[in-house]
């Protein structure tokens, strides 16, 4: 009986072009789920009563024949039976969970794979992707041996869609399929998934680094373990391929940091940053392994790495001080203080540079300063010593054994950062204390280094005072602090910054209608222009 039903259905499919049978077939397809539920239940009862009999092959062959009929129909030109084709794609997945009880699941996976492959690439794309999505949601995909067959099909189809430059990919349907696959692989009841994550990683990771797929890319990275990263890097054929991949990834991560989800989606932003952090740590090892020795050092790659990690460290979603105590505790309990993790990594990677450090002075002074200004005591204690290392490095490599480039850049950046609202009294104290401790232990930097430490402390004191009185109602206080900063830069011969504060002082005089004093302030600038 059951074999006869499938044979009749196969006959209808083979003659779908017959107007008299087409409507019957369409009605049968709409009821396919219930039709097969009856077929399967009848088969189960038959086997329970008669046991495995000789008609087992006949039943299996009838299922194979039905799928073969489906394949033949789907391979026809699009205008032939398009309504029937759409119905098959919509309703065929509804029979999977039932039919696998009476038909070998692995073979069923093979039949489903051949069915999808029979559909021409450019035809019924959305319906085909939707059909595969339902396959993934079925119980069949929970079985590792069936996934071994279905997943190559899914990755091939997605890869083909994303690489199709002749037609606009159906992003929504592709995202739905890929996210469904990743959700199912992340379940605890689906057995081993390591090899399947690897397949997705190799075929789709770089293809998901575009706007519509960023959440999917994050999900792929989340499911990758350390061995996956190692294996993925090993798939690149040349060192230049690795460079291109890392450059692309570092730039992408920096652009995406906090820009994928709205700022109030705190959990999603923190999860994304946590996943990126793990990837960054893995790529740090790749930098150390392939691009640290003298022959293969890649300056731009390392530069991009440091700028990425500092952007990560200073991202507003990670600044725990801006949250309530309750929210701060929740974040720390679930994610920890990720700033420390990346900050300690920055420190270690800097010291790994060895003789290459001089290539990053003075360009990295600003980013390192940004990192040290994050108001986290352990982080500051870990990173501030890098300043002394920069002083020592420039002293050793410069012809006149000074650290003028470092000093000039640090003063410039410090002025900008404090004016922008960063830095505090605790930072001033720790910076002075740390630099003094390191310099006094150094044979050649004890005197010049101590002078710089005290100079920076004095500058910070003036800048913090200036920032504090910016909104002071007393114009005299504001002018006094501005003059203090002015005199500091005049003494240090930092004409560029000195002029900037001259104009700040002029504006203060104009606000108070002190036009004579404003003129004298401008005269100070004019005198600088005289030969």
Q: Are residues 177 and 141 in the same domain?
A: yes
> What DSSP designation does 54 have?
T
The half-sphere exposure of 502 on its side-chain side, counting CA atoms within 13 A, is 18
Domain hosting 99: range is 1-103
Low-confidence winner among 11-25, 208-222, 362-376 (lowest mean pLDDT): 208-222
Low-confidence winner among 176-185, 396-405, 444-453, 468-477 (lowest mean pLDDT): 468-477
**Tokens of residue 41, six digits:** 């239940």
What's the CA gap between 519 and 107, in Å, rounded? Answer: 91
**Tokens of residue 195, six digits:** 């090899």
**Tokens of residue 34, six digits:** 């219930």
Q: Does residue 469 lie in a domain region?
A: no
Please write the tens of the pLDDT for every residue from 500-513: 888 888 888 887 88
Tell me which of 312, 329, 360 is where a domain ends.
360
Q: Does residue 83 lie in a domain region?
A: yes
Q: Are residues 228 and 254 in the same domain?
A: no
pLDDT confidence of residue 417:
95
Q: Does residue 140 lie in a domain region?
A: yes
Total tally of structural domains belonging to the chain? 3
CB of 415 closer than 8 Å to CB of 463: yes
CB of 10 closer than 8 Å to CB of 66: yes
Is 472 or 151 the better-scoring residue by pLDDT?
151
Please write the tens of the pLDDT for every residue from 247-284: 999 998 888 876 667 778 888 888 889 999 999 999 99
Q: Does residue 34 lie in a domain region?
A: yes
How many CB atoms sit inside 10 A of residue 478's CB?
A: 20
What's the CA gap between 276 and 287, in Å, rounded? Answer: 16
pLDDT at position 158 over 60: yes
Q: Are residues 226 and 260 in the same domain?
A: no
Please write the tens of the pLDDT for every residue from 379-402: 999 999 999 999 999 999 988 889
Torsion of CA 491, 492, 498, 504, to 10 degrees: -70
Q: Are residues 135 and 191 in the same domain?
A: yes
Nearest to 352, CA basis, from 289, 441, 409: 289
Q: Are residues 217 and 261 in the same domain?
A: no
What's the CA gap between 491 and 475, in Å, rounded? Answer: 24
Rg (CA), the chain: 34
CB of 250 closer than 8 Å to CB of 305: yes
CB of 456 closer than 8 Å to CB of 432: yes
Q: Does residue 14 lie in a domain region?
A: yes
Q: Does residue 430 lie in a domain region?
A: no
Q: Are residues 350 and 309 in the same domain?
A: yes
Tell me which of 314, 340, 360 is where a domain ends.
360
pLDDT confidence of residue 330:
93
Q: Are residues 138 and 173 in the same domain?
A: yes
Instruction: Please give the model's pTM, rounded to 2 decimal places.
Output: 0.82
Nearest to 414, CA basis, from 485, 343, 483, 479: 485
Average pLDDT, the chain: 89
Q: Does residue 496 lie in a domain region?
A: no
Helix (H) or strand (E) holding 366: helix 365-372
Q: Are residues 286 and 311 in the same domain?
A: yes
**Tokens of residue 415, six digits:** 């002025």
Torsion of CA 274, 279, 285, 291, to 10 degrees: -130
Tell me which of 332, 360, 388 is where a domain ends.
360
Nearest to 283, CA basis, from 251, 315, 238: 251
Please write the tens of the pLDDT for every residue from 278-300: 999 999 999 999 999 989 999 99
- Tell me the pLDDT band of 42, cut-offs 50, 70 and 90: confident
Q: Are residues 245 and 207 in the same domain?
A: no
Q: Are residues 19 and 93 in the same domain?
A: yes
């Amino acid at each position: 009986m059951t074999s006869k039903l499938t044979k009749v259905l196969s006959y209808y499919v083979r003659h779908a072009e017959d107007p008299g049978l087409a409507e019957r077939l369409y009605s049968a397809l709409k009821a396919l789920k219930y039709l097969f539920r009856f077929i399967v239940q009848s088969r189960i009862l038959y086997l329970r009563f008669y046991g495995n009999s000789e008609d087992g092959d006949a039943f299996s062959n009838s299922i194979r024949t039905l799928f073969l009929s489906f394949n033949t129909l789907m391979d026809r030109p699009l205008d032939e039976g398009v309504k029937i084709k759409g119905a098959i794609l919509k309703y065929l997945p509804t029979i999977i969970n039932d039919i696998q009880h009476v038909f070998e699941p692995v073979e069923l996976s093979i039949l489903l794979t051949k069915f999808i492959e029979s559909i021409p690439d450019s035809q019924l794309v959305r319906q085909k992707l939707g059909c595969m999505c339902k396959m993934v949601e079925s119980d069949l995909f929970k079985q590792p041996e069936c996934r071994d067959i279905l997943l190559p099909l899914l990755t091939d189809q997605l890869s083909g869609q994303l690489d199709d430059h002749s037609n606009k990919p159906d992003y929504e349907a592709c995202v739905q399929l890929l996210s469904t696959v990743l959700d199912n692989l992340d379940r605890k009841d689906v057995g081993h998934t390591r090899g399947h994550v690897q397949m997705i990683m190799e075929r789709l990771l770089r293809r998901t680094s575009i706007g519509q797929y960023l959440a999917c890319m994050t999900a792929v990275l989340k499911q990758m373990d350390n061995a996956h990263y190692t294996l993925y890097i090993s798939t690149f054929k040349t060192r230049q391929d690795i460079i291109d991949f890392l450059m692309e990834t570092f730039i992408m991560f920096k652009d995406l940091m906090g820009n994928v989800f709205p700022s109030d989606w705190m959990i999603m932003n923190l999860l994304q940053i946590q996943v990126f952090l793990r990837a960054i740590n893995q790529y740090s090892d790749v930098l150390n392994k392939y691009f640290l020795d003298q022959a293969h050092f890649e300056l731009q790659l390392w530069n991009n790495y440091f700028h990425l990690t500092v952007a990560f460290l200073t991202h507003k979603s990670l600044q725990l001080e801006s949250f309530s105590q309750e929210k701060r505790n929740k974040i720390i309990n679930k994610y920890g203080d990720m700033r420390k993790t990346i900050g300690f990594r920055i420190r270690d990677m800097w010291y790994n540079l060895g003789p290459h450090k001089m290539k990053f002075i003075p360009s990295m002074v600003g980013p390192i300063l940004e990192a040290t200004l994050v108001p986290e005591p352990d982080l500051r204690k870990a990173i501030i010593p890098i300043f002394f290392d920069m002083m020592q490095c420039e002293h050793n490599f410069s012809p006149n054994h000074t650290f003028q480039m470092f000093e000039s850049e640090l003063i410039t950046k410090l002025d900008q950062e404090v004016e922008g609202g960063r830095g505090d009294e605790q930072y001033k104290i720790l910076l002075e204390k740390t630099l003094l401790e390191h310099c006094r232990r150094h044979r050649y930097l004890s005197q010049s280094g101590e002078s710089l430490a005290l100079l920076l402390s004095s500058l910070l004191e003036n800048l913090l005072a200036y920032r504090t009185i910016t909104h002071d109602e007393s114009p005299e206080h504001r002018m006094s602090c501005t003059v203090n900063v002015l005199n500091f830069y005049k003494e240090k011969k930092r004409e560029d910054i000195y002029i900037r504060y001259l104009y700040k002082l002029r504006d203060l005089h104009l606000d108070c209608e002190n036009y004579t004093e404003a003129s004298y302030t401008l005269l100070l600038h004019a005198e600088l222009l005289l030969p």
